[in-house]
């Protein structure tokens, strides 16, 4: 008989994302995020030039899974007066590795989805000024809504796709994935040198220009050409 573990408390459930065209779900392990990965967004945040990519994380249970055709409520978080949207291409890792080379990196990708790196901008700015960690600005509950994952093989054009975010039907962010400072493949190369990637990891690849505040009642629609839309309502 294998030894049966008895937990003193019920273990937290596995966070998972829906897949396009399958009943199976993608189990989320870790959530990595790239900072300032579009030039125009770096400029609007007060930075210029191509710096090496840098990373922060969200807890897996900050992910809010959003199914196709669904609009999911996202609570306006505590402690902020400046709650910002950042629409991003999210990469789902299917095969892990360390020191993955950019030339081989896309073989490690399971699929892609649209995500929102929701941000308490006022708290993030305070932490930056004080040289403190960004967690309170970036890694709070429900800070990462993500739509259904499309298999990589079904969306080979994603690296040239348009990306945009509408709030209440008005365009707020628009760009193209080929304007990423560090491409998906290069991001995986850098990231996998710092952490051993594993199947189930997500990577938020960075947001283009046009970030801004939302308020309760706003309806957000994120799109990347070729992927399912992501729809949430701030409540
Ligand atoms: Mn971001």
Give yes or no for a contact between 217 and 233, defined as CB atoms under 8 angstroms apart. Answer: yes
**What distance in angstroms lies between residue 230's CA and the mean position of ligand 1's atoms?**
16
Q: Which residues contact 184 (CB under 8 A, 6 or more apart)?
A: 89, 91, 105, 106, 109, 159, 177, 203, 205
Residue 41's pLDDT is 85
Distance CA 63, CA 85 (A): 15
**What distance in angstroms lies between residue 24's CA and the mean position of ligand 1's atoms?**
28
Give yes or no for a contact between 148 and 210, defined as CB atoms under 8 angstroms apart. Answer: no
**What distance in angstroms lies between residue 130's CA and the mean position of ligand 1's atoms?**
20
| Residue 26: pLDDT over 70 | yes
User: Using one digit for the tens of pLDDT, what is the confidence trace for 62-88?
Assistant: 999 999 999 999 999 999 999 999 999
User: Using one digit for the tens of pLDDT, what is the confidence trace for 111-143?
Assistant: 999 999 999 999 999 999 999 999 999 999 999
Give the mean model confidence (pLDDT) for residues 10-32.
97
**What distance in angstroms lies between residue 10's CA and the mean position of ligand 1's atoms?**
32
Of 119, 132, 65, the closest CA to residue 92 belongs to: 65
Superfamily of domain 16-234: Fumarylacetoacetase-like, C-terminal domain (3.90.850.10)
**What distance in angstroms lies between residue 8's CA and the mean position of ligand 1's atoms?**
37
**What distance in angstroms lies between residue 4's CA and the mean position of ligand 1's atoms?**
41
| Residue 49: pLDDT over 70 | no
Q: Which residues contact 190 (CB under 8 A, 6 or more apart)?
A: 52, 53, 55, 182
Handedness of CA 157, 74, 33, 182 (dihedral sign): positive
Element (H, E) at 120: strand 119-120
**What distance in angstroms lies between residue 85's CA and the mean position of ligand 1's atoms?**
9
The pLDDT mean for the chain works out to 96
Statement: the pTM of the whole predicted model exceeds 0.95? yes
Percent of the chain topping pLDDT 70: 99
**What distance in angstroms lies between residue 77's CA and the mean position of ligand 1's atoms?**
17
Distance CA 227, CA 149 (A): 8
Per-residue confidence band for 89, with pLDDT thresholds at 50, 70 and 90? very high
């Amino acid at each position: 008989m294998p030894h049966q573990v008895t937990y003193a408390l019920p273990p937290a459930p596995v966070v998972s994302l829906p897949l396009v065209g399958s009943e199976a779900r993608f189990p989320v392990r870790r959530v990595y995020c790239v900072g300032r990965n579009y030039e125009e967004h770096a400029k609007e945040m007060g930075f210029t030039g191509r710096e090496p990519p840098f990373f922060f994380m969200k807890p897996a249970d900050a992910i809010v899974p959003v199914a196709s055709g669904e609009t999911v409520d996202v609570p306006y978080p505590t402690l902020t007066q400046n709650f910002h949207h950042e629409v991003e291409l999210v990469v789902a890792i299917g095969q892990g590795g360390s020191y993955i080379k950019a030339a081989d990196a896309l073989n490690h990708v399971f699929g892609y989805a649209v995500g929102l790196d929701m941000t308490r901008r006022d708290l993030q700015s305070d932490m930056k000024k004080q040289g403190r960690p960004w967690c309170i600005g970036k890694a709070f509950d429900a800070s990462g809504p993500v739509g259904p994952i499309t298999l990589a093989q079904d969306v080979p054009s994603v690296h040239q796709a348009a990306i945009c975010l509408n709030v209440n039907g008005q365009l707020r962010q628009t760009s193209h994935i080929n304007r990423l400072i560090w491409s998906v493949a290069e991001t995986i190369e850098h990231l996998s040198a710092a952490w051993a990637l594993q199947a189930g990891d997500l990577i938020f690849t960075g947001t283009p220009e046009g970030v801004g505040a939302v308020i309760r009642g706003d309806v957000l629609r994120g799109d990347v050409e070729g992927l399912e839309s992501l729809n949430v309502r701030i409540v």
